Amino acid sequence: MAAPHVAGIMALIKKKHPTWSPAAIQSAIITTAKDMDLDGKPMVDNKNGKPASIFAKGAGLVNPSGAMDPGLVYDRNISDYKGYMCGLGYSSSNVELIIRKHVNCTKVKKIKASQLNYASIMVTLSNISPNETVQRTVTNVGDANSEYNARVVHPVGANITLSPDKLQFSKHNQPMSFNITISMVAPAQVPGKISEGKLEWLSKKHVVRSPIAVIFG
């Protein structure tokens, strides 16, 4: 029953914000979800009774009222998807079939999946590639003059730095970009281990939460 519930919430958000893209609506649902259960405790995987992994719980429990007013959204456009699909190795003609516009992948700036402007973040770190920097862009859909400060929960075995770590908006619908660098720290983690963290942008009215997953290779 999760899918029809979320579909209904998306319809309500679209009614309130008719100009929002599907990506913006998805972002609003992800970043306002509650990452604890209804008793304020860590979520449990019903299959084994153990704490739920990030892949089991996703962003958490959907918060319909919060998603109506998320403060910030991570939006995406055709250019993002072109770079992503060309980066995956799709031919220009195949990408054209999907986006219904002319594409020349040889001239498109290709991006990895981790660079897609998604409301969550996942990277793979190893001794060969011990750090990765990803860029995200958020759009202010709240009050015109809003200030957000970053709060980070670091994944075990990794360190997160942001630049900038404060976002100052002066307009409604104003976009701002920031870089997130995730780096391995000692001691080395077991290959295949998945570590979880989160990034929160805090204002006087909003908490904009992004789950972070680090896979150690």
**pLDDT bucket at 109, cuts 50 / 70 / 90:** very high
Is residue 161's pLDDT more than 70?
Answer: yes
Q: What is the pLDDT of residue 186?
A: 82
CATH code of 161's domain: 2.60.40.2310
Q: What is the pLDDT of residue 8?
A: 93
Given 61, 88, 107, which residue is the final one in a domain?
A: 107
Q: What is the pLDDT of residue 42?
A: 87
172 to 20, 73, 181: CA distances (angstroms): 13, 12, 28
Is residue 1's pLDDT more than 60?
Answer: no
112 in any annotated domain: no
13 in any annotated domain: yes
Q: What is the pLDDT of residue 188?
A: 77
Please indicate, yes or no, whether residues 62 and 102 belong to a single structural domain of this protein.
no
Closest CA to 23 of 79, 74, 81: 74
pLDDT digits (tens, 9 = 90+) for 168-199: 999 999 999 999 999 999 887 889 999 999 99
C-alpha R_g of the chain: 18
Please indicate, yes or no, whether residues 124 and 44 belong to a single structural domain of this protein.
yes
**Strand ranges (DSSP E) for the chain?**
72-73, 121-125, 131-140, 146-153, 158-163, 166-169, 175-184, 194-202, 207-216
Q: What is the pLDDT of residue 124?
A: 96
Compute the distance between CA of residue 11 and CA of residue 18 in angstroms, rounded to an integer. 10
Please indicate, yes or no, whether residues 93 and 168 belong to a single structural domain of this protein.
no
Q: What is the pLDDT of residue 5?
A: 84
CB 182 within 8 A of CB 212: yes
Helices of type H across the chain: 2-16, 22-32, 54-57, 64-67, 78-87, 92-99
Domain count along the chain = 2
Is residue 25's pLDDT more than 90?
Answer: yes
CB 162 within 8 A of CB 199: yes
pTM here is: 0.92
pLDDT digits (tens, 9 = 90+) for 33-89: 998 888 888 899 888 888 899 998 999 999 999 999 999 999 999 999 999 999 999
- Domain span including residue 93: 78-107
**When comparing pLDDT for 130 and 46, which is higher?**
130
pLDDT digits (tens, 9 = 90+) for 93-108: 999 999 999 999 999 9
